[in-house]
Amino acid sequence: MNLLKYHSLAIIIDDEKEIYKVDQIIDMLKSKGYEVVCINKNNYNIVNAQTYESLKDVPHNIDVVIITNLSLQTYEILDEIELLDIKNIWFENGSYNESMLKKAKDLRLNISCGLSLFKEIARY
């Protein structure tokens, strides 16, 4: 997936151990001009992006949903993606399993998986 053609990104965070990594991703994306929000059901302190409890709460359209770690919450996120007619999902290295990929494929999403967002953004 060529991230350059998209503008609005939502990063899912549901593990407090991932906050540092997510903060770095947000900073990098914002420095490249992307509009970034976080989806965070657990009220973790994310200081560099507007945070919402659900994709449904975001007041604008989302072009790409970014999954940063393997979590059962991903199934709920996939349901929201379908409901909101979002077409693109990015699975960071290690953030998915075959069942999640199958569900994303069944939803006919454009899928990027097994890539490092850091490396991909650095290429642009």
Query: Does 4 have pLDDT greater than 80?
Result: no
pTM: 0.91
Q: What is the pLDDT of residues 52-81, one digit of tens each?
A: 999 999 999 999 999 988 888 899 999 999
Domain boundaries defined on the chain:
3-122
Q: Which residues contact 65 (CB under 8 A, 6 or more apart)?
A: 9, 10, 12, 39, 55, 77, 81, 86, 88, 89, 90
d(CA 69, CA 71): 6
Which 3 state secondary structure label does DSSP give 71?
coil
CATH number of 3-122: 3.40.50.720
Average model confidence (pLDDT) across the chain: 89
d(CA 124, CA 122): 5
